[in-house]
Structure 1
Amino acid sequence: MILVTGATGTVGRELVRRLPGDLAVRVMARDPSRLEAVAPGTDVVAGDYTDPASLDRALRGVRRAFLLTSRVGGDDDACFLRAARAAGVRHVVKVSAAAVADERADDLITRWQRTTERLLMDSGMRWTVLRPRSFMSNALSWATSIASEGVVRALHGTSVNACVDPRDVAAAAVCALTEDGHEGRIHTLTGPRPISAVEQAAELGRVLGRPVRLEELSPDRARARLLERHPVEVVDALLASAERQRAGAKAGVEDTVLRLTGRPARSFRTWAEDHCEAFRRTP
């Protein structure tokens, strides 16, 4: 049995779609009603990292698990791994982030990710860590301004990031969950080339058939916008990450997607073409 957590999220949703139909799969979600259609025979359970009884039920009979947590600074990983070990889980595949390998990255989010990686590696279970760069799907945060104004607003618009299509992260997770040889390995996942927000805006404009321009945010304006959605400690971490990106820390490209899946990593243009309708709709 394979357990998938985070199945309502960007990567987990794609992973559920891609797991072979002949495998026994269980999907855990806090609110199962938010799940998209799952394959016949998929076991769906309600579970919460803060509810030990629900974790025990979700992990019963599971041998491999996909772990994705998002509560920065929380103990969700610790709760899950404790329950997984007690349930006899043999192998956990965890999504972390590429910044963990950067010695210059010392923000709250990266420190938390390092801590949770270490919890897994020291758990006594077999492990695989996926370290993606930023997701191409982060561009969906521009959907409203593009649809209504033809504008992308971003900090450090010419800095580049080798962002990755979440579908490629999910494909790598399928490999790690269904093949031998991934235990004890770290897979860094990137797109095929680094790309800036200016270039992303231009690509989206070409796909949509109309101009899309970038409006550069000042650091103060970027901070104010982030504070509308995140606690101050997370905002500080995101701004520190943006400064590292401006310094070139996120420009490196890996061929991991090709090596794992046999197919090159998808380009931002491909991602944009496949999601163009999201940028045509206004609320």
Structure 2
Amino acid sequence: MILVTGATGTIGREVVRGIPADLPVRIMARDPGRVTGAGAAAEIVPGDFSDPASLVGVLRGVHTVFLVTNPGGNDDAGFLRSARSAGVRHVVKLSAAAVADSRAEDLITRWQRRNEDQLRGSGMEWTLLRPRAFMSNTLSWVGSIRSGHVVRALYGASVNACVDPRDVAEVAVRALTEDGHAGRIHTLTGPEAITAVEQTAQLAELLRRPLRFEELGPEQARTALGARYPAQIVEALLESAERGREGSKAEVDGTVATLLGRPAGTFRGWASDHLSAFG
């Protein structure tokens, strides 16, 4: 039995869609009604990382877990103890590429590092997925594109080897269903480093209408992010953006192509497939 957590999130919902229909799958969600794309045979159950009692039934009979947790919540230690007690053998964890950057000391990265260490010390087999930023993060521009044909972002000239979430999910499915991934760290990027200005230009071409890029200053970005995230997460994101301005997110890794046997997806390709969202 494979257990998928984070099934209503960007990667988790694609993992749910990608697991072969002939494999037994259990999906844990705080709100099972929000789960979409699950096969008819999938078992969807309520569960909460902060409630150990809810995990007992969730983990019963599970041998492999796709683990997704969110910054600001509990660390993974409690879940990992429950998983090991239940007989789970292998955990595939969604982490972040910044963990490998010695200069990255923001709250989110420190949280990810701690959780990686807990998994590696858990006594279970592990696989770590470390993606760069998701191309789907540009969906945060939808409102300003629709209302004013403008993209507003911090450090528009910063390059980022962002990755198609569908590629991350496909790698996750392979790690969950194939041998040979235990004890491995998969760094996942797109095929090129691209700037927000370049992404804006590609969206304009695809939408066939002009878009303007407007550079935000740090305080403007802090205000905009503060409307969506708690203050400590906002500061972590601003620290991350500053590292990106210094080039820390530019490196392209070939792991996606190696594991999937095809080139990693481009931003243009992702945007083409999601163009309706931008109006």
- Partner residue of 1:234? 233
1:262 paired residue number: 261
Cα deviation, residue 205, structure 1: 0.7
Deviation (angstroms), 1:76: 4.1
In structure 2, runs of 5+ residues without a counterpart are none
1:49 corresponds in structure 2 to 49
Query: Contact 2:6/2:29 (CA < 8 Å) preserved in 1?
Result: yes
Instruction: For 1:189 and 1:240, locate their aligned partners in 2 and report how far apart those are by CA, in whole Å.
Output: 21
Which amino acid in the other structure matches residue 6 of structure 1? Answer: G
Q: Look up the equivalent residue of 1:64 and give its one-letter code.
A: T
Aligned to 2:166: 167
Give 1:1-283 correspondences, 5 Å limit. Answer: 1-72=1-72, 74-280=73-279
Could you tell me how far apart the structure 2 residues matched to 1:257 and 1:177 are? Answer: 15
Would the aligned equivalents of 1:14 and 1:167 in 2 still touch at CA under 8 Å? yes
* TM-score computed with the length of structure 2 as normaliser: 0.98
Q: Distance in 2 between matches of 1:144 and 1:88?
A: 46
Separation in structure 2 between the aligned mates of residue 265 and residue 238 of structure 1, nearest angstrom: 25
Q: Identity over the aligned pairs, expressed in percent? A: 65
Partner amino acid, structure 2, of 1:5:
T
Structure 1 vs Structure 2 CA RMSD: 0.8
CA contact (8 A) 2:16 2:37 kept: no
Structure-2 separation of matches of 1:247 and 1:155: 13
Q: Distance in 2 between matches of 1:242 and 1:53?
A: 39
Residue deviations 1:175-208, cap 9 Å, x none? Answer: 1111111101100000000010000001111111
Whether the 8 Å contact between 2:186 and 2:255 is mirrored in structure 1 is yes
Q: Secondary structure at the match of 2:76?
A: helix
Q: Displacement, 1:71?
A: 3.2
Q: Please list the CA deviations of residues 86-109 of structure 1 after superposition, one character each: whole Å capped at 9, or x if unmatched.
A: 100000000000000000001111
- Aligned equivalents of 1:52, 1:105: Cα separation in 2: 31
CA distance in 1, matches of 2:33, 2:236: 32
Alpha-carbon shift at residue 227 of structure 1 (Å): 1.6
Count the aligned residue pairs: 279
Is the 8 Å Cα contact of residues 30 and 48 (structure 2) preserved in structure 1? yes
Q: What is the letter of the counterpart of residue 48 of structure 1?
A: D
Partner Cα separation in structure 2 for residue 123 and residue 177 of structure 1: 18
Tell me if structure 2 keeps the 8 A contact 1:50–1:76. no
CA distance in 2, matches of 1:55, 1:82: 11
2:187 is paired with a residue whose SS is strand
Aligned partner letter, 1:9:
G
Give how far 1:37 is off.
3.5
Q: Name the SS for the 1:106 alignment partner.
A: coil
Q: Partners of 1:95 and 1:253 in 2: how far apart?
A: 19
- TM-score (norm: length of structure 1): 0.97
What letter matches 1:39 in structure 2?
Answer: G
Deviation at 1:75, TM superposition (A): 2.2
User: How far apart, in 1, do the equivalents of 2:278 and 2:229 lie?
Assistant: 24
CA distance in 2, matches of 1:7, 1:218: 35
Amino acid at match of 1:190: T
| Aligned 8 A contact 2:75 2:115 in 1 | no
What CA deviation, in whole Å up to 9, does each residue of 1:155-192 have, x standing for no partner?
10011100001100000001111111110110000000
